[in-house]
């Protein structure tokens, strides 16, 4: 057969070869179809480890217990017992630093009225837990001061008024 007839074929094979070689170089070695087959788990296996390596920020109340025993036990005896320390005090660890380390960055406590109103704004929704929580009208109940001026969040009963 004439050379000019075969030439496009060679050019085509060459392009295929280049694509396959480029694919070998560019596609990571651990790329493949794993447990759920090609449709659902065609991926780079190393990425699962990448996600596991993300830093844990919220540590939970038990983490605070040892150093802040008094505050821990006071809130655990109160109606606020199920509220995690970090919900108001902020996560123990952040991207910038850890609370339990040499630097010990001070946690920014959320003392705002808005923080209390998350639960204590009255919404009388039947069949929702919200209806059972006591609420106040924020426009009428001492609108200019923070709640914690009078109420102790660790001892929210009226006996705990400051």
Contact status: 92 vs another protein (CB under 8 A):
no
Interface with another protein (CB under 8 A), residue from 11, 12, 30, 34: 34
Does position 30 interact with another protein (CB under 8 A)? The reply is no
Residue 12 within binding range of another protein, rule CB under 8 A = no
Residue from 9, 11, 14, 30 touching another protein (CB under 8 A): that is 14
HEC-encoded secondary structure of 16-63:
HHHHHHHHHHHCCCCEEECCCHHHHHEEECHHHHHHHCCCCCCCCHHH
Cα gap 74→156, rounded to integer Å: 10
φ and ψ at residue 80, rounded to 5 degrees: -90, 15
CA distances from 68 to 61, 65, 101, 118 (A): 10, 5, 15, 25
Q: Does position 21 bind another protein by CB under 8 A?
A: yes
Cβ-based nearer residue to another protein, 124 or 143:
124
One of 74, 87, 89, 152 touching another protein (CB under 8 A): 87
Structure tokens at 140: 């009428």
CB of 97 to another protein, least distance (A): 14
Residue 5 has a CB neighbour count (10 Å cut-off) of: 8
69, 63 in Cβ contact below 8 A?
Answer: no
Which of 15, 108, 109, 133 binds another protein (CB under 8 A)? It is 133
State which of positions 107-126 bind another protein (CB under 8 A): 114, 117-119, 121, 123-126
Residues forming the site for another protein (CB under 8 A): 10, 14, 17, 20-21, 23-24, 31, 33-44, 47-48, 50-58, 60, 80, 82-84, 86-87, 90-91, 94-95, 114, 117-119, 121, 123-130, 133, 138
């Amino acid at each position: 057969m004439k050379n000019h007839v075969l030439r496009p074929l060679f050019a085509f094979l060459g392009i295929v070869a280049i694509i396959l070689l480029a694919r070998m170089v560019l596609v990571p070695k651990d790329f493949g179809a794993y447990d759920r087959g090609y449709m659902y788990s065609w991926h780079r296996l190393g990425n699962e480890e990448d996600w596991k390596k993300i830093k844990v920020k919220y540590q939970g109340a038990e983490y605070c217990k040892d150093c802040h025993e008094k505050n821990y036990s006071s809130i655990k005896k109160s109606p606020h017992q199920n509220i995690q320390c970090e919900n108001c005090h902020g996560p123990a660890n952040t991207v910038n630093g850890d609370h339990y380390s040499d630097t010990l960055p001070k946690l920014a406590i959320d003392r705002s009225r808005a923080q209390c109103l998350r639960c204590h704004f009255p919404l009388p929704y039947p069949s929702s837990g919200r209806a059972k929580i006591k609420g106040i009208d924020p426009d009428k109940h001492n609108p200019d001061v923070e709640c914690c001026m009078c109420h102790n969040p660790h001892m929210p009963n009226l006996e705990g008024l400051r």
